[in-house]
Amino acid sequence: MHLTGTSDLVRVVTSAAVNTDVYAAWTDLSGTTVTPGRTNTAISTATTTTVVGSPAASTYRRVKTLTVRNRGASPQTVTMSLTDGTTSVELIKVTLQAEEVLHYHEAAGFWIADTQGREKVNSAVGQGFAATNELNLVVLSADVTNNNATANTIADVTGLSFSVTAGETYRFRFVIDYTSAATATGSRWSINGPTTTRLSYSSRYSLTATTETVNHGLSAYDTPAASNVTSAATGANQAIVQGYITPSANGTVIARFASEVSSSAIVAKAGSLLEWYRTI
């Protein structure tokens, strides 16, 4: 990635007020003189930020590496572009889940690292498509609590989500470990996302030590409408939500949950898992 004019810039557009850190490193060549440089940029709003500035006159700036890390708890869509002051070209646009990192290296191009530092997406990431039939994993990094003062108020399991593209079909499976403030406090588990042409899913979660609430044939978000009335235990419950979705708009599919009793906590535990594939 070369910046050759005094108006050339690399910019990052962030879609949400989510803490996002950017590191950039480069070398400047002026005649036979080579000078290294770098910037650290902390972003906390939905905005456009210059992350690599323009070189001086008669100087060529070669971008060696860039990293963009979402250190928030919710998704952040990042668009990176290069402008010459007149024309701006979009280099890449991706949605980073919580704790994920977008990397650029001059020898390898762009890739995404998951929360464990493993490469998440191959070179097709630049086209905005997930690989077909490739398993993707998302692990909830911190507990998420719903103890709303109004009973049965559904809320996001922040951090347990994945991005979808209009017209593609996805298979998903949320497996959520949760606790309840009391066995007399029930819950409900569902999903939310963008508009769809196809949505088919089911959910199941504990009721007693030997029974569970099972919901089949679900085709609308945030269903069922009511919570069940008990939990099998205070410290060991499990919810499974799984199905298929074909969105008609780009967006994010996220797990949702509610507590049956006002101000009585249902807690989705760190380590809960999401598995998803793009099937078509």
pLDDT digits 0-9 by tens, 78-114: 999 999 999 999 999 998 988 899 999 998 899 898 8
Per-residue confidence band for 119, with pLDDT thresholds at 50, 70 and 90: confident
pLDDT at position 271: 95
What lies within 8 Å, CB to CB, of 256 at 6+ separation is 154, 155, 156, 157, 189, 190, 191, 192, 221, 222
pLDDT digits 0-9 by tens, 182-236: 999 999 999 999 999 999 999 999 999 999 999 999 999 999 999 999 999 999 9
Q: Check whether 254 has a pLDDT greater than 50.
A: yes
Residue 11 and residue 95 in one domain: yes
Which neighbouring-strand residues pair with 69? 21, 101
- Note if the bond before 224 is cis, omega within 30 degrees: yes
Q: How far is CA 263 from CA 175, 182, 189, 230, 257, in A?
A: 24, 11, 17, 15, 14
pLDDT at position 131: 55
Residue 121 and residue 146 in one domain: no
pLDDT at position 216: 97
pLDDT at position 268: 98
Q: Is 215 a domain residue?
A: yes
pLDDT at position 126: 37
Q: Which residues of 36-48 are buried (b: 16+ CB within 10 A; e: fewer)?
A: eeeeeeebeeeee
Show the domain range for 104: 2-128
Q: Is 133 a domain residue?
A: no
Question: What are φ and ψ of residue 124, in 5° steps?
Answer: -70, -10
Q: Specify the number of domains making up the chain.
A: 2
* Structural contact between residues 72 and 115, judged by C-beta atoms closer than 8 angstroms: no
pLDDT at position 73: 87
Amino acid at 55: P
Q: Is 187 a domain residue?
A: yes
Q: Left, alpha or beta for 71 (phi > 0: left; psi -120 to 50: alpha)? A: alpha
pLDDT at position 280: 76
Residue 113 and residue 153 in one domain: no
Residue 122 and residue 154 in one domain: no
Residue 148 and residue 94 in one domain: no
* Structural contact between residues 241 and 255, judged by C-beta atoms closer than 8 angstroms: yes
Q: Is 221 a domain residue?
A: yes
* Structural contact between residues 80 and 65, judged by C-beta atoms closer than 8 angstroms: no
How many C-beta neighbours within 10 Å does residue 274 have? 24
How many C-beta neighbours within 10 Å does residue 10 have? 25
pLDDT at position 130: 55
Residue 101 and residue 149 in one domain: no
pLDDT at position 147: 98
Q: Is 261 a domain residue?
A: yes
**Does pTM surpass 0.95?**
no
The residue among 101, 128, 155 that closes a domain is 128
Q: Could you tell me the two tokens for 221?
A: 């978000």
Residue 34 and residue 70 in one domain: yes
Distance CA 164, CA 91 (A): 20
Residue 269 and residue 146 in one domain: yes
The residue among 128, 152, 187 that closes a domain is 128
Distance CA 257, CA 27 (A): 49
229-248 mean pLDDT: 97
